[in-house]
Structure 1
Amino acid sequence: MSIWWSLHLRREAASVPLARRLLIGTMETSGVDPDISFDLSVALSEACANAVEHGGRERPGEKTGAYRVTAYLDGEKCRIEVADSGPGFPARRVVRRSAPAPALTSENGRGLRLIEQLADHVHVRNRPGHGAVVSFDKILKWREGALLRAV
């Protein structure tokens, strides 16, 4: 059994906890280990916050722009993807996985590094003319008697 869902959200701060709560609820109901659920929910919050802050261009008729969150829970793995419509990442960030750590006084630059620490695999890419995509995977651990537990 597997579950997937996709949200199309406004680029507003209030959308971040909505996505996080949906993910936590899905994983809790499915029987995912709470520590794994917490790690993924923090990573998702960071990816959504990046999309809200840096997701860029507003389209005609849209006041705030939008971004998309898609989550797949399938057997042993969860994959989450956050796609925005902004300018994308600088080319060096997409190519180099180990960007220098931000200065201690910097207000930006920690979100992707945190996602990299919480997930098993992180992929950052640009969609030319359409924004950035951050996707990350994590191997799931299950509670005893979980509904989706891999057999």
Structure 2
Amino acid sequence: MSIWWSLHLRREAASVPLARRLLLGTMETAGVDPDVSYDLSIALSEACANAVEHGGGTGDGGSSEAYRVTAYLDGERCRIEVADAGPGFPPGSAGRPGGRAARPVSAEAEHGRGLCLIQELADHVHIGNEPGRGGAVVSFDKVLKWRKDAPLVAV
């Protein structure tokens, strides 16, 4: 079984739950274990929230006001990519949660935990910039587990 979809979303807070609901609905319909679906939906929400908050550029209403979410359920793995058209990660910080300093975040902090959460919830994570275009790209994947009654069990 292979399912994929791609969304082009405005950088607005309301787009985050939309992407999350689409992922959860796709995984529920396919028969993915709810715990795996939940982990991936939290990781997706964090990646989308980062794109909404940090993925802007010029503010001219063009492509910098949007971001892209692509999800692939292919065989035994789900891969998700969130890409924006903002300034990207600072040089030398890509791939390290927390940016340049990669400092610990206090339990009371309201920001700064998203990339760390994604790394904890997914099996493989790549954090970087769009080659040649700029903008941040966060991609992650996870091995899928299936419900016993899954209608679209991977072959």
Which ranges of 4 or more aligned residues in structure 1 deviate by more than 3 Å?
Answer: 58-64, 95-98, 103-107
Amino acid at match of 2:117: L
1:24 alignment partner in structure 2 = 24
Tell me, in whole angstroms, the C-alpha distance in 2 between the residues paired with 1:55 and 1:97. Answer: 16
Is the CA contact 2:58–2:64 (under 8 Å) kept in the aligned structure 1? yes
Separation of aligned partners in 1, 2:61 and 2:94 = 31
Conserved 8 A contact 2:31-2:149: yes
Equivalence for 1:143: 147
Q: TM-score, normalised by structure 1?
A: 0.90
Matching residue of 1:120: 123
Take 2:153 and 2:104, find their aligned partners in 1: how far apart are those partners?
A: 37
The SS at the match of 1:109 is coil
Q: Please list every run of 5 or more consecutive structure 2 residues that lacks an aligned counterpart in the other structure.
A: none
Cα distance, 1:57 vs. partner?
1.1
Specify the code of the residue in structure 1 equivalent to 2:35.
D
Structure 1 window deviating more from structure 2 (60-69 vs 45-54): it is 60-69
With structure 2 as the length reference, what TM-score do the two structures score?
0.88
Distance 2:31 2:41 in 1: 15
Q: Does 1:93 align with 2:93?
A: yes
1:58-137 to structure 2, matched below 5 A, reads: 58=58, 60-62=60-62, 65-96=65-96, 99-127=102-130, 128-137=132-141
Q: Which runs of 5+ in 1 are unaligned?
A: none
C-alpha root-mean-square deviation of aligned residues, in Å? 2.0
